[in-house]
Structure 1
Amino acid sequence: MHRHRTTAMTLAAAVAVSLGAATAATAQASPNHPTGHKQRHVLLVSVDGMHQSDLDWYVAHHPSSTLAKLAHTGLQYTHAATSNPSDSDPGGTALMTGGNPRTTGVYYDVEYSHKTDEPGAACTPGQPATGGDVVYDSPDDALANVPDLINPTNGTFPSFDENGSVYANGVDKNPAAIMRLQNNASSFNSKTFPVDPATCKSITPWDYLGDNTIFKVIHRAGLRTAWSDKHAVYMSFNGPGSNGKSIDDYFGPEIDSQAVEPNGVPYPQDDDWAHIDAATKQYDGYKVNAVLNEINGRDHTGKTTVGTPAIFGMNFQALSVAQKSRSTSTTLIKHADGTYTTSAPQAGGYQWAGGKLVPGPVVSSALDYVNTQLGRMASRVHQDGLASSTTIIVTAKHGQSPQDPNKLTTVPDGPIVDAVNAAWHKTHPSNAKLIVAGTNDDLWQSYLSDNSAAADEFVKGYLWDHTAQGYDVNKKPVTVQHSGLAQVWAGAGAAKFFGVAVDNGHYPDVFGKVQEGIVYGGPTKLAEHGGMNAGDRHVLMLVSGAGVRSGVESAPVETTQVAPTVLALLGLQPTKLTAVQTEGTRVLPGITARSAR
């Protein structure tokens, strides 16, 4: 009903109008917020995997939805691109720093560095780095060995609460109790962290970053900060030199833990929260509750009154899981006796209908879920008298590729790596493992034990000349040229691509863009993220709230621009971010900075 309105209105006010409530233009202070509407707040939400095309489709088919109101009453950036690579870690870090991997040093959540030593390796302070894995992921959890609750012989999961502080021995019989989780350094097993060869000490996730973050700048300004995400390791967003204390209230229940229904019974699919979409929605719901509590002026537990943060928010996983799953359940059904079942599995990903590529039933359901939760947040902002002082930013850390299932080709990357190593070993008998690390979701990254120019060019040439075997969307064998790659950079060429010095040490020695539709791995997924095709990087970007005009910006923007924009909206100087100084990252166009302090 606001499609023809041209004056600016906050999202919270628009939602309130749709509910029959008065507008929030003259919202008064709530008892839970001592400084009331005079405070400045930014609610930042990452809907992981959400493309601009998803937003376009949803708004067209749900014109009265929260997403539609946000698009019509705020600024919509129709050509927004993620970091490159577009994986969760570099993508999330870009939002929080304003920097790309060339300054943040974060190229993936599982990477390698020639400037560190291997975790747990013998070390003599001041000796040259030997190189080592940099894995900031769920294996870093302090308690990552909880037995499978259905069949212990199947192996283990990380604990839902990482450090075992909520559940005795990590055994989860009451998932709602996760709201008591207090993430801090005790959430980690620091022995899994890379080692600084200068000091022989483990490098914490926040100290590995090459740039400071919005949380550090905002915290130092005396304002409260909060964030909710899918792993404890995203406490890296605290930034270097923070001792992990720039985020006043971090909430990171582990998404790789075993999915447990609200009554404490494991999901019968016997999997983690990221592989059953009904479970993912339940999981996302805990982070939504954290945000609602924070809007109310309490900490994420809802128990302690602390005031609404200046910066806070969360990421949604339900859409990303829906895009990748071939088939999954969308809904958890509660029965009168207190037991639960999941709905019948439906097709994940996208499908062709009427000559158009549209969300399938699971993706559509996930979009509905995200829209509903955004509506709850916006309504709570209004109800608590914060509409005139709060700006909501909705974007995505990453997209997902391919969207068209007919373009999917899954290629096992292990045989390719083995073939490269075997070919090198023939002429270099003392080196049986040239590729020592890498991550190949829908891009190619290789780190080499010998990173000489000759070795770099050998791998590049081998990959380009190699014919690989894969599977189409119907799991039928296919052959792909160039190892599935469209372009390859190596050595100095890779350094130039990322804009770093050749001896930087953090960037992949060999880096490749895949042919559209290539996903490395077994034929279990419909899509992946991390790459550099349009599906990976072209995401939504919406900004709505106090002082933000309505309109559409078609000029290209990047998700790195969120960080300086957040500071500008809070009246802080964007140039306090080191990435802004180095990369020249600009505030999003159309956003007027408040008086800086």
Structure 2
Amino acid sequence: MPPRKKARISQATSPASVSQPPTPPPADTASPSKSDEKLLNDPWTDEEEIGLFKGLMTWKPTGIHKHFRLLALHQFLLSNGYIHPRSEHSRPAGIWRKLQSLYDLEALDEREDARQLSDLSLESSNGEDEDDDVYSEAENKIHKEDFALPDDAYAELKWQQRFASQGEGKSESPPALPELNMAEEPPVRFTPSFSIEPSEAPTPSGRRGRPKAGSVRGRGKGAAPAPPPANKRRSARQAGSVAEEEDQGEEAEDDESEDEEEVESEETKMVNSLLLAGAAAFAAAAPVDIPEIPGITYGDYQHADPSGGWIPPTTAYSKGEYKQVVMLSFDGMHQFDLMNYVTKYPNSTWASIILKNGIMYENARASSPSDSFPATTALFAGASPRVSGIWWDDVYDRALYPAGSNCTGPQGTECAWDESNDLNSTIITGGGALNVSHLPLQLTAWGSCQPVYPHNFIRVNTVFEVARGNGLVTAYADKHLTYELLNGPSGVGLSEIYTPEVASVANTVEAQQAWDDLHWSALRNWTKGNFANGTTNPQGSPSMYGANFQAITWAQTNAGYLDAYGAKPNKSLEQALQYADKRLGTFLGDLKAAGQLDSTLLIVGSKQGQGPINAANETFLPGTQLTASVEAAGISVALTTTDDGGVMWLNDQSQAQAAKANLLANTTLGVEYVLAGDEIQHAGLGSPWLDSRVPDLIIGAKVGYLWASSPRFEDHGGYLPQDLNVPLIAYNPYLEPANVSTFVSNRQVASTMVKALGLPLAQLDGYRIEGTPILPGVFAS
């Protein structure tokens, strides 16, 4: 017989139920005719219901954790494009209403509660049905005490359950080197001034070597000692004690220096052979010969100490918990890419090292728009487009003059911050400088007409300026010369910027990986106190530096996924993910060899995702069709920039609402929504009337639509979960591992980098103006 209910103490909720909303009450019983009418008026589409049922297979919102599970279910629907974030019926409250119409949630709550507390044993002495008491006692017990597995007995088990079991049929990453899962090593330095035929290149053995017993890999004078086993939270005091131990151990290591130098020499020979082979392969794949790459590739700025009121650079300054902070962006990577990878490869660098002592922010979000330029600005300035003035890499500014105009004629011009501004984008250096004749112009307060460089265009300072202004060495590597933007308004925030031109690289995953290796090589040289090209930097290693990598985003754009949910990457994408994992392990080894691993806060993630995920559901349209549609209605368009979302500037701003109506009426374009005119300001994104850069229209694409210049599997720039759902992890060998489910923004990386080195947060404009907080859980204080 059904269980006999006792008086309920309160509605079953999660442990933190004081502020949790209860399950919505059951709907009133309706007559059959009203039920039929309700079914016909159900706002849920078939695709949305399919996604809901798929999500329910993993996250069943019943029992004491039902509200947490519902949030996870809602995020699953958003991340996979089943629902739109602005749809009222698919928000959490709407999902509760939908579930209430399908199930008896109250009965399911009771069943789940009893199942979760099945260890409750009751003796039945009167012969009554035990189920009555089991259900009722379980329900009462829920309200009397919170349920949680004790950490002392289950901590390790809970950690292991994050990954798949290593059973039969599970593939693993390629064999790894000791402790750090390093496979091949990137070149120590990339100076391809030599001439070598591919046939002459030494071929490394196909067998991946491991150090012989008793040998020391990557260890030299001043290498870091073994990390202490206690207290996993980093502090400045611990970093200082490690440094003292290094000094005390130098004398003892002098006796071993000859043996270690011999080991280092053998390793150098091996790495140099890889360098020669890699350089030859890269040269063969690239469309042009590769000249010698200078350490810095922007203009005539060559490692000179900046003039003005800057503090002389020094590596000795550090008032924070860390001596170095590094940000690495694997562009295009999604959070689900990371979780699928660590499940498939439990022995990978990501799974066995980064997440083992890392804080994972599983609900991290990229900037909106998610184009590379504002996404990079978000990471290193901590500011949104409204404040930074960076909306896309191809934008319109109503206050500037066109290139070559000598600041005469009407104001308003396109500002393209991509490879089109290189002197020569077909060679790896980009020609060594920006083409000044292509830059927009501004009329200064004293009547002079001057070009606007990328660092002039950004309206806020960067983390590199804050660090440089406090006497620290900084460095960064990216894909175009225009990323000198990160110098900030001062123009000298970076001690060194290294930007090999990615547009010059052949359209193969191997060539993209070779380009990534240029950045890995620069990172290695920076850890050694060198410039990116391997020459000695008299100022030493940078305290704040970073780099981005392109192989993953290239593979997504050119190969994509084999399923609708991103669980099955194409061969090229799988190769790019594995390659990134190996190189990440190698970089950890570089930090350890330099004695910097323990004192470095490493932040790894992606500045943006990509979409659409489901190639079978993709609709490609040239972005010019949006412009053509609006202009056909007699509305003059100044500039339209699109990918899987878009922005538009009009010559007559008063026609914004008419342009919006036109785009929404043209159902062939795949427009989901449009913000126009004052709606943009009301959304908190700035005023098109008061700000010369804020677009007149912000255009959201439907899931599956891609507005681009040429067909491709994926791209980025829009506002969908596929663009915004990115991985973000803070790592240090002494950090306690944690999963943070709180929603965080990539903008918080900037504040965290400044805080890590103990620099004044108030000096960062993004923090001062927008209050961009630090990432939770990273610091002891």
The separation in 1 between residues aligned to 2:181 and 2:624, in whole angstroms, is 53
**Contact 1:395–1:539 (8 Å) recurs in 2:** yes
| Higher helix proportion | 2
**Contact 2:677–2:697 (8 Å) recurs in 1:** yes
- Aligned position for 1:54: 337
- Aligned position for 1:160: 428
Once the two structures are TM-superposed, the CA of residue 36 in structure 1 deviates from its matched residue by: 12
Q: Deviations over 1:40-60 (max 9, x none)?
A: 001210000011001101111
Once the two structures are TM-superposed, the CA of residue 575 in structure 1 deviates from its matched residue by: 2.0
The separation in 2 between residues aligned to 1:549 and 1:579, in whole angstroms, is 28
**Contact 2:182–2:582 (8 Å) recurs in 1:** no
- Aligned position for 1:301: 533
**Contact 1:409–1:519 (8 Å) recurs in 2:** yes
Once the two structures are TM-superposed, the CA of residue 356 in structure 1 deviates from its matched residue by: 7.4
Q: Which structure: larger Rg?
A: 2
Q: How does 1:243-258 map to 2 (within 5 A)?
A: 244-257=491-504
**Contact 1:24–1:387 (8 Å) recurs in 2:** no
The separation in 2 between residues aligned to 1:14 and 1:77, in whole angstroms, is 25
Alignment of 1:193 onto 2:439: yes
Farther off after superposition, 395-404 or 35-44: 35-44
| Higher strand proportion | 1
* Counterpart selection for 1:448 from 650, 664, 685: 650
* Counterpart selection for 1:316 from 541, 549, 555: 549
Cα distance change on mapping 1:378 and 1:247 into 2, 3 Å? same
**Contact 1:17–1:23 (8 Å) recurs in 2:** no
Which 5+ residue runs of structure 2 have no aligned equivalent? Answer: 1-154, 160-176, 184-209, 217-224, 229-241, 251-313
Cα distance change on mapping 1:378 and 1:365 into 2, 3 Å? same
Q: TM-score, normalised by structure 1?
A: 0.76
- Aligned position for 1:342: none
The separation in 1 between residues aligned to 2:485 and 2:709, in whole angstroms, is 31
- Aligned position for 2:390: 106
Residue type matched to 2:529 in 1?
G
* Counterpart selection for 1:133 from 397, 414, 426: 414
Once the two structures are TM-superposed, the CA of residue 533 in structure 1 deviates from its matched residue by: 0.5
The separation in 1 between residues aligned to 2:515 and 2:566, in whole angstroms, is 32
**Contact 1:390–1:546 (8 Å) recurs in 2:** no
* Counterpart selection for 2:520 from 265, 283, 288: 288
Cα distance change on mapping 1:3 and 1:195 into 2, 3 Å? farther
Residue type matched to 1:445 in 2?
V
Residue type matched to 1:205 in 2?
P
The separation in 1 between residues aligned to 2:626 and 2:738, in whole angstroms, is 48
Residue type matched to 1:510 in 2?
L
Cα distance change on mapping 1:4 and 1:23 into 2, 3 Å? farther
Cα distance change on mapping 1:443 and 1:193 into 2, 3 Å? same
The separation in 2 between residues aligned to 1:116 and 1:546, in whole angstroms, is 49
The separation in 2 between residues aligned to 1:451 and 1:585, in whole angstroms, is 31
- Aligned position for 2:173: none
The separation in 1 between residues aligned to 2:178 and 2:733, in whole angstroms, is 10
Alignment of 1:405 onto 2:405: no
Farther off after superposition, 51-60 or 547-556: 547-556
**Contact 1:13–1:382 (8 Å) recurs in 2:** no
The separation in 1 between residues aligned to 2:573 and 2:182, in whole angstroms, is 28
- Aligned position for 1:230: 479
Q: Secondary structure at the match of 1:352?
A: coil
- Aligned position for 2:660: 460
Q: Deviations over 1:152-171 (max 9, x none)?
A: xxxxx53321235xxxxxxx
Once the two structures are TM-superposed, the CA of residue 523 in structure 1 deviates from its matched residue by: 6.2
Once the two structures are TM-superposed, the CA of residue 131 in structure 1 deviates from its matched residue by: 0.8
The separation in 2 between residues aligned to 1:17 and 1:442, in whole angstroms, is 36
The separation in 2 between residues aligned to 1:571 and 1:416, in whole angstroms, is 48
Cα distance change on mapping 1:506 and 1:34 into 2, 3 Å? closer
The separation in 1 between residues aligned to 2:612 and 2:721, in whole angstroms, is 9
Q: Deviations over 1:287-338 (max 9, x none)?
A: 110000111111111111442111112101000000010xxxxxxxxxxxxx
* Counterpart selection for 1:497 from 683, 702, 711: 683
* Counterpart selection for 2:180 from 12, 15, 27: 15
Cα distance change on mapping 1:94 and 1:522 into 2, 3 Å? closer
- Aligned position for 1:570: 757
Q: How does 1:489-568 map to 2 (within 5 A)?
A: 489-501=675-687, 502-521=689-708, 524-545=711-732, 548-568=735-755
Q: Deviations over 1:329-358 (max 9, x none)?
A: xxxxxxxxxxxxxxxxxxx211139x9732
Alignment of 1:96 onto 2:377: no
The separation in 2 between residues aligned to 1:23 and 1:211, in whole angstroms, is 41
The separation in 1 between residues aligned to 2:780 and 2:753, in whole angstroms, is 9
Residue type matched to 1:104 in 2?
S
Q: Secondary structure at the match of 1:350?
A: coil
Q: Secondary structure at the match of 1:162?
A: coil
Q: How does 1:573-592 map to 2 (within 5 A)?
A: 573-592=760-779
Q: Deviations over 1:359-404 (max 9, x none)?
A: 2211111100111111111011111111221111101111001112
Once the two structures are TM-superposed, the CA of residue 548 in structure 1 deviates from its matched residue by: 3.2
**Contact 1:82–1:91 (8 Å) recurs in 2:** yes
Q: Secondary structure at the match of 1:387?
A: coil
- Aligned position for 1:276: 508
- Aligned position for 1:169: none
Residue type matched to 1:537 in 2?
L
Q: Secondary structure at the match of 1:386?
A: coil
- Aligned position for 1:488: 674
The separation in 2 between residues aligned to 1:163 and 1:393, in whole angstroms, is 32
Cα distance change on mapping 1:443 and 1:356 into 2, 3 Å? closer
**Contact 1:138–1:158 (8 Å) recurs in 2:** no
Q: How does 1:369-380 map to 2 (within 5 A)?
A: 369-380=579-590
- Aligned position for 1:263: none
- Aligned position for 2:455: 206
Residue type matched to 1:49 in 2?
G
- Aligned position for 1:475: none
The separation in 2 between residues aligned to 1:13 and 1:204, in whole angstroms, is 46
The separation in 2 between residues aligned to 1:494 and 1:249, in whole angstroms, is 37
The separation in 2 between residues aligned to 1:3 and 1:286, in whole angstroms, is 39
Q: How does 1:432-443 map to 2 (within 5 A)?
A: 434-443=636-645
Which 5+ residue runs of structure 1 have no aligned equivalent? Answer: 7-11, 145-156, 165-186, 260-272, 326-347, 426-433, 469-482
- Aligned position for 1:87: 371
Residue type matched to 1:288 in 2?
W
**Contact 1:80–1:556 (8 Å) recurs in 2:** yes
* Counterpart selection for 2:469 from 220, 223, 232: 220
Root mean square deviation, CA, Å: 2.8
**Contact 1:215–1:246 (8 Å) recurs in 2:** yes
**Contact 1:357–1:404 (8 Å) recurs in 2:** no
The separation in 1 between residues aligned to 2:473 and 2:497, in whole angstroms, is 11
Cα distance change on mapping 1:17 and 1:504 into 2, 3 Å? closer
Q: Secondary structure at the match of 2:610?
A: coil
* Counterpart selection for 2:561 from 343, 350, 354: 350
Q: TM-score, normalised by structure 2?
A: 0.59
- Aligned position for 2:125: none
Once the two structures are TM-superposed, the CA of residue 16 in structure 1 deviates from its matched residue by: 7.8
The separation in 2 between residues aligned to 1:78 and 1:579, in whole angstroms, is 23
- Aligned position for 2:488: 239
